[in-house]
Amino acid sequence: MLEAEAAGLDELKQAAAVRVPAVRAVGATAGQAFLALEWIDFGASAPDAETRLGEQLAWQHRVSARGFGWHRDNTIGSTEQPNAWGNDWIAFFRERRLRHQLELAKRNGHDGRLTDRGAVLLELMGAFFASHRPVPSLLHGDLWGGNWAVDSAGQPVLFDPAVYFGDREADLAMTRLFGGFGNAFYTAYHATWPLDQAAGTRRTLYNLYHVLNHLNLFGGGYLAQAQSTIDRLLAELGH
């Protein structure tokens, strides 16, 4: 897991967009694994830092690849995140993201209505992409408010990534799941690389992945949210 995180930080560093901590060392002893990172002093956030983050994230998303996925699997939290390459984004997100999490949920005892309704959503979710053909973008992958900060010089810093190449809307969707990003961030991002006007219609679908992951990590407290999210998406599709 730590080797994959180190590789993800190196991938983001090569993009030369948003600052990330430099990897100093990664390895294992007989009983423990370790990841040593550059020490960064953090300061207070401010709208100008959010503006820089929005601009720099848009430039990071401009970094593309031959397909959707990554050269290795990694983790989202402590959950395995499969990243085998694919050319079809809808199939990638359906199989490597949503179906993977639904199968984990079933193994964790959350079958029945969740997995039954989830299976229907998997069959129908292509309707959300009727006019959307995303290009592979370098994603942070776990972009909630707790995974960015501001260094002492006022520059934004990203950390704790779950890197892969996917639809940039997925990163932007997660920024709205738990908050932590202000208007200056979104204004700057859109000014640098505007999103599709229908991006909001896919936001709930993309965030379902993270809601399901929280269910699998932390248990039944997220079951009702996962079920209601699936129901809301199916209602939008007339089911």
Give residues with Cβ within 8 angstroms of 55, minimum separation 6.
188, 189, 191, 192
Is residue 48 flagged as an active site residue? no
Q: Which bin fits 154, alpha (ψ -120 to 50), beta or left (φ > 0)?
A: left
Continuous segment of H or E residues that includes residue 164: strand 164-166
| Angle formed by the axes of helices 113-124 and 100-107, nearest 10° | 170
Per annotation, catalytic residue among 41, 88, 111, 142? 142
Continuous segment of H or E residues that includes residue 117: helix 113-124
Q: Which bin fits 77, alpha (ψ -120 to 50), beta or left (φ > 0)?
A: left
Tokens of 157: 């810093």
Q: Looking at the annotation, which residues are catalytic?
A: 142
